[in-house]
Amino acid sequence: MSSALNSHSIQDVTGLPVYANSVTPFDGGTLFLARTPSGRRLGILAPRESACHSRFAGDVTERGEQLLGVCPLTHANALALREALSWLQPRLLGMQTSAGCGDRLGLATPGHVRAARQVQEHFREPVLGMIFAQQSIREMGRTARTPDEVLDDATWGTFQEGWRAGVGADADHLKTLADLERCAAVGYSFFTIDPGDHVDSLADDAEGQALLAGFDALPWAELEITPTDLRLRYANLRLDLDDRVLSVDSLELARAAVKYGRALAHTVRMYRRLLNIKGAGAFELEASVDETDTPTSPAEHVFIASELKRLGVRWVSLAPRYVGRFEKAVDYIGDLQALDRDLAAHAAIARALGPYKLSLHSGSDKFTVYPILARHARGLLHLKTAGTSYLEALRVLASFDPDLFREILALAIERFEADRASYHFSARLEKVPPPDALADAELPNLLEQFDARQVLHMTYGSVLTSERGFRTRLLEGLAAHEEDYYAALQRHFVRHLQPLIEV
């Protein structure tokens, strides 16, 4: 029996509007997601003798020879659903081309699923590994969400759309052991370590005695090597790449060590703590140095990868700081030819010293970059997106509630100076039109304006935690117009995902 027929049959019995793709046979009964006047609910329709109902907490009523359970979307029920349906449990993605879809509102996963399904519909097997639960610790703090909530929201969205091709879950930009432990306890499968606070970008310009002093002051005990032995390791290194032989001279080594030595020690501490918590082979690690002031040179990439390997770290992807500007919510800013050369070098190093995937952070809306990265990475790539789903929500909001959109824009303008810290941006506040300067029909197009996009992107935390109730009003409005939101996300994310597999 097809899912569509099952959903109609369930609706006939229960009177509940059912999300057709969610209908799943289980333990002699059927699980599904339904709309109710109180919001989405997990539904269970099963014979009296089935043990299906005992797994979940909710209200149970009789429906002829069957029992109907209607359960709230609680954390306990999300845990039970992941336990019941293995395809909802975060898993390892390995070397498969992959993408992470951040979701600041907890409503975007169905749209992400539809985009991922569309770009892969002509392939016999999945060609993209998808991460629908992805949020950085910084974003969790600014949106007042917990690791549990992020994972659970993605679980319900994945179940709603019936995505059975497997999912990862990314605890993104982890900086502390405490945050790492919080996410590991919840069940995340992918851990992005961000040692950016330990990167010394001043090493790029250090000379002579200052550079030597920085080199001598490195935490050599934590790096588990002596300065002399480190120099010997690279003295005769010759790395054969696609179109060049790469070596690391003594000056490049000193700069790389001073710039990244402490970041490597921090990454190793985080990795070894994960090993203690989860065990070898039970998680995937991404090493990230992208949120730093200066680019990662090819020689520095070789140093990072070589030293992580020497220290016993196993990682699936690495995010260098590429040349140019990867600002939030807008396309790449810089010389595309220079980026082409840079990505070619980094991809060749990743193949030679791994293989491992190159990761593109701040990857939302980098439409000019995706084909270049895909061509050089040859499938070994991971894309991270985050705030662009929130911006699509605002675009949809502008079409059905222009007054609320104007209120949000006004708060964004008010809060921009305070909220812009920690972001690389080029937006100029004076270029953002005042909320009352545009007609209702013009508001959705404001999401195409460079400065407005960045201002709205950077102020999401103030909007979602505002005492004016913007979060509740936005979520309720999107729930009432969910198909419009899903359609907008699907269109937008197809543009992100399609180029990754068109090589």
Residues 2-17 have a mean pLDDT of 78
Residues 203-209 have a mean pLDDT of 94
Strands (E), 126-258: 129-136, 167-174, 190-193, 239-240, 245-246
N residues, the chain: 503
46-91 pLDDT tens trace: 999 988 999 999 999 999 889 999 999 999 999 999 999 999 999 9
Residues 26-40 have a mean pLDDT of 95
Asked whether residue 140 carries a pLDDT value surpassing 90, the answer given is yes
396-445 pLDDT tens trace: 999 999 999 999 999 999 999 999 887 888 999 999 999 999 999 999 99
Sheet-wide strand order for 59-63: 24-26, 29-36, 39-47, 66-71, 59-63
What are the residues whose beta carbons fall under 8 Å from the beta carbon of 496, sequence distance 6 or more? 99, 115, 363, 364, 365, 367, 370, 383, 385, 388
What are the residues whose beta carbons fall under 8 Å from the beta carbon of 83, sequence distance 6 or more? 55, 89
- Are 265 and 205 contacting, i.e. CB atoms less than 8 angstroms apart? no
- pLDDT at residue 3, as a whole number: 41
- 3-state SS, residue 411: helix
Residues 214-219 have a mean pLDDT of 98
- pLDDT at residue 469, as a whole number: 97
Residues 15-41 have a mean pLDDT of 96
Q: Tell me how far apart the alpha carbons of residues 264 and 222 are, in angstroms, rounded to a whole number.
A: 9
- pLDDT at residue 209, as a whole number: 95
169-187 pLDDT tens trace: 999 999 999 999 999 999 9
Q: Tell me how far apart the alpha carbons of residues 64 and 123 are, in angstroms, rounded to a whole number.
A: 43
Residue type, 375: R
- pLDDT at residue 243, as a whole number: 83
Which run of H or of E encompasses 26? strand 24-26
224-235 pLDDT tens trace: 999 999 999 999
Nearest to 316 by CA among 352, 274, 284: 284
Chain-centroid distance of CA 486 in Å reads: 18
**Counting Cβ atoms within 10 Å, is residue 310 exposed (0-12), middle (13-18) or buried (19+)?**
middle
- pLDDT at residue 4, as a whole number: 40
CB neighbourhood size of 231 (10 A): 15
Tokens of residue 242, six digits: 């696609």
Model confidence at 242, pLDDT cuts 50, 70, 90, reads: confident
Chain-centroid distance of CA 484 in Å reads: 23
Angle at 438 between CA 433 and CA 443, to 5 degrees: 90
- Measured between alpha carbons, how far is residue 116 from residues 109, 139, 150, 365 in Å? 10, 23, 19, 16
Q: Tell me how far apart the alpha carbons of residues 101 and 262 are, in angstroms, rounded to a whole number.
A: 30
Provide the greatest CA pair distance for the chain: 85
Asked whether residue 486 carries a pLDDT value surpassing 60, the answer given is yes
| Residue tagged active-site, from 172, 307, 392, 482 | 172
- pLDDT at residue 2, as a whole number: 39
The chain-wide mean pLDDT, for the chain, equals 96
Model confidence at 379, pLDDT cuts 50, 70, 90, reads: very high
Q: Look up 172 and say whether it is catalytic.
A: yes
DSSP state of 195: -
Which run of H or of E encompasses 233? helix 227-235
DSSP state of 101: E
| Residue tagged active-site, from 139, 286, 327, 365 | 286
Nearest to 168 by CA among 87, 90, 88, 79: 90
319-362 pLDDT tens trace: 999 999 999 999 999 999 999 999 999 999 999 999 999 999 99
Asked whether residue 1 carries a pLDDT value surpassing 50, the answer given is no
| Percentage above 70 pLDDT, the chain | 99
- pLDDT at residue 64, as a whole number: 87
Pairing of the two strands 317-319 and 284-288: parallel
Q: Look up 414 and say whether it is catalytic.
A: no
- pLDDT at residue 503, as a whole number: 63
In DSSP terms, 130 is beta-bridged to 99, 167
